[in-house]
Amino acid sequence: MSREFPLERVRNIGIIAHIDAGKTTVTEKILFYTGRTYKVGSVNEGTTVMDFMDQERQRGITIKAAATTCYWHEHRINIIDTPGHVDFTAEVERSLRVLDGGVVVFDGVSGVEAQSETVWRQADRYHVPRICFINKMDRDGADFQRTIGMIQSRLGAKALPIQIPIGSESAFKGAIDLLEGKAWYFTGAHDAEPTITDVTEADQPAYLHARQTLIEKLGELDDEIMEAYLEGEEISIAELKAALRRVTLANRGVPVVCGSALRNTGVQKVLDAVVDYLPSPLDVPPITGIDSKTGAETTRPADDEAPFAALAFKVVTDPFMGRLVYFRVYSGKIEVGNQVMNTTRDKRERIGRLVLMHANHREDITFADTGTIAATLGLKSTFTGDTLCDPSNPVLLESIRFPEPVISIAIEPKTRADQDKMGEALQKLTEEDPTFWVRHDEETGQTIISGMGELHLEVIVSRLVTEFRVGVKVGQPRVAYRETITAPVKVEGRFVRQSGGHGQYGHVNVELEPLPRGKGFEFVEGIKGQAIPRNFIPSIQAGIKEAMENGVLAGYPVVDLKATLYDGSYHEVDSSELAFKMAGSIALKEGVRRGKPVLLEPIMKLEVVTPQEFVGDVIGDINSRRGRVEAMDPQGDTFIIRALIPLSESFGYATSLRSLTQGRATHSLEFYRYQEVSAALAEQIMEKSTGKK
Ligand SMILES: Nc1nc2c(ncn2[C@@H]2O[C@H](COP(=O)(O)OP(=O)(O)OP(=O)(O)O)[C@@H](O)[C@H]2O)c(=O)[nH]1
Ligand SMILES: [Mg+2]
């Protein structure tokens, strides 16, 4: 079967940005202009297609990434609209993992905000080529050039404006296309066609200057343009576009366009730029994975005829339909009824139904070919990050890594009936969200839920109540502290029992050393000779790991240490895996106790954008929360304050900032790193947590 859309005419893109930049508004307008919807959805009126969850519509923010497909100039564009709030970073992470290109949206007034920087770095990590859309050009204080400057200075990107705005703020009318040399005027009405005219006399100097600058900048990044430029040749529009495409695909530069999604200005030009400059599945390197038969690294080409390989990136439980597994096909093709191999879990699954997702609507399809982002119903054992592939050509693709939660609260069911429902609901929620963890505290009997921030947990609790109809009581937020050692130690772990008949014998010598922050756990097997038979070593490692789950100071997980097993002994008859596991655990506990243990607390990166008059109050408040101001930059009429602040001091920050600044400042909080807690404070924390336990 030939493809409806040749691969070179497919685009898989994500809309990424800081909270409130206008991603969902842009996406809604894209749906309208591509003919996907007949009415324009509005974030403010709660009528969006993409933000369809109750929680999203009520709060006016995106919580979950939503996918859709539309068509523009004979190209098929699969779009994922992602949330901007950092608490939902997992949604951005998994989207970037399966997308080929990104549209980064900026608020023309605030420019590059904290979370834009975070998603930009995430996109860098996945080598995702992107274009920038400077939105909200209609707002008071919008400034195209300043935002371009910030893209360069704050993101270190080579910004290549391919437009300049016509007018600004309330007089914003459209943009001049620097390649075509045409002016695009928009009336602001959603159903009016743009008027395309020659550049006016008055705008000529600005246009010519900007065009010249673009060609020079492009020349620095592309040899062909440089040559033509030096030869003094006239460079055609097609040549300029081709060069811009090369530069964008190689991640050497980013084309920039502008507009106002709310005022229906410039969105069509964003679509043009997506088609012109963002990659098709053929433009990105073939996906690499591990050949399950040989264990060697292998690749899978973007080709319908190649063996099927796909990555599951999202699981959603639909109350009516059951489990929906979203996946991206990297190679080959799958049809309804086919068997696939889940190489991550070594399980076979049958594809019962295939659907294309349009936010929460499903369109049944009979097959999914290379480059498609689709979902399937009925898979039982497939989870986020799993590989699905052709059973006769098994391959394992790299999974998706997610950050660990930093904040927890205890929740309790209100009634007995709520108890069972709560367990089931939490199970579904953890399946959907890899940054949401649930744990049962043995000592207090409480259920502890953990997530990325206060808003994250607040949304989960609201969903429990409204979506799953579970009555719950919620405790105070708690910090996910960690423990670690600060000095190297050598310790012995012995687990020896002689109780007539068969005894137990495990004996290990382990050296523990501190590792730098964020390094986790490392195990080194350094036994000389045959002190312990090899088959017991995995048990020792498992014993150490298990003991690390509960530290010695206040029972928090132990992190950032290296354990070297350097000696030990065994008994011909009495040694067992269990005995060695116990010995490993004993050694670890003893080692941590003697290795000058300390408590670590999560430190958050805080960024506040505030009118100048409140700068003093905001800084005073940060200082009183054990925070440290790192930088303060004026930006237009406002100030950006960057600070580090312990998570434990950040609870309720949104409310207190609102009252300090009459609601005129915005902020974002994001996990930065773990840091040692002072001895005095550690004392208090230990008292509290051991008291509670
Ligand atoms: N003035 C103006 N407001 C806009 C524009 N685009 C969006 N907005 C408004 O900005 C607010 C946020 O828009 P959204 O589209 O929800 O932003 P978002 O980036 O999707 O936000 P999150 O998904 O929560 O990160 C809404 O009130 C929009 O109406 C624009 O071009 N001009
Ligand atoms: Mg949104």
> How much distance in Å is there from the Cα of 38 to the middle of ligand 1?
20
- Nearest-atom index, ligand 1, CA of 115: 25
> How much distance in Å is there from the Cα of 44 to the middle of ligand 1?
8
Q: Which of 326, 444, 434, 440 is nearest to 388 (CA)?
A: 326
Buried b / exposed e along 670-683 (16+ C-beta atoms within 10 A): bbeebeebeeeebe
Tell me the per-residue pLDDT of 8-60, one tens digit each, with 9 for 90 and over.
999 999 999 999 999 999 999 999 999 888 788 888 888 888 888 888 888 88
CA distance 216 to 150: 20
Q: Whose CA is nearest to atom 32 of ligand 1?
A: 136
Distance of CA 282 to the CA centre of its chain: 24
Three-state secondary-structure class, residue 221: helix
Tell me the per-residue pLDDT of 581-605, one tens digit each, with 9 for 90 and over.
999 999 999 999 999 999 999 999 9
> How much distance in Å is there from the Cα of 311 to the middle of ligand 2?
24
Residues with CB under 6 A from ligand 1: 17, 19-25, 43-44, 61-62, 83-85, 135-136, 138-139, 260-263
Structure tokens belonging to residue 96: 């970037």
The confidence score (pLDDT) of residue 691 equals 55
CA distance 152 to 565: 49
Q: Whose CA is nearest to atom 2 of ligand 1?
A: 136
> How much distance in Å is there from the Cα of 24 to the middle of ligand 1?
7
CA distance 369 to 536: 47
The confidence score (pLDDT) of residue 301 equals 93
**Pairing, β 254-258 against β 159-161:** parallel
- Nearest-atom index, ligand 1, CA of 60: 16
Q: Which of 540, 649, 663 is nearest to 601 (CA)?
A: 649
Question: Which of 25, 44, 190, when mutated, tests ligand 1's pocket best, judged by the most ligand atoms within 8 Å of its CB?
Answer: 25
Q: What is the 3-state secondary structure (H, E, C) of 388-411?
A: EECCCCCEEECCCCCCCCCEEEEE
Q: What are phi and psi of 383, to 5 degrees?
A: -125, 170
Q: Whose CA is nearest to atom 27 of ligand 1?
A: 44
> How much distance in Å is there from the Cα of 183 to the middle of ligand 1?
25
Question: Which of 15, 20, 105, 139, when mutated, tests ligand 1's pocket best, judged by the most ligand atoms within 8 Å of its CB?
Answer: 20
Q: Which residues of the chain have pLDDT under 70?
A: 1-2, 443, 500-501, 690-693
- Nearest-atom index, ligand 1, CA of 139: 1
The Cα-based distances of 616 to 612, 621, 639 in angstroms read 8, 9, 11
CA distance 215 to 217: 5
Mean pLDDT of the chain: 92
> How much distance in Å is there from the Cα of 24 to the middle of ligand 2?
4
E-only strand ranges, 343-428: 347-350, 353-358, 361-365, 367-369, 373-377, 387-389, 395-397, 407-413
> How much distance in Å is there from the Cα of 66 to the middle of ligand 1?
16
Question: Which of 15, 80, 262, when mutated, tests ligand 1's pocket best, judged by the most ligand atoms within 8 Å of its CB?
Answer: 262
Is residue 173 within 8 A of residue 199, CB to CB? The reply is no
* Nearest ligand, measured from the Cα of 42: 1
Strand partners, 512: 489, 563
> How much distance in Å is there from the Cα of 82 to the middle of ligand 2?
6
Tell me the per-residue pLDDT of 237-256, one tens digit each, with 9 for 90 and over.
999 999 999 999 999 999 99
Q: Which of 15, 11, 8 is nearest to 96 (CA)?
A: 15
Contacts (Cβ under 8 Å, ≥6 apart) of 538:
none
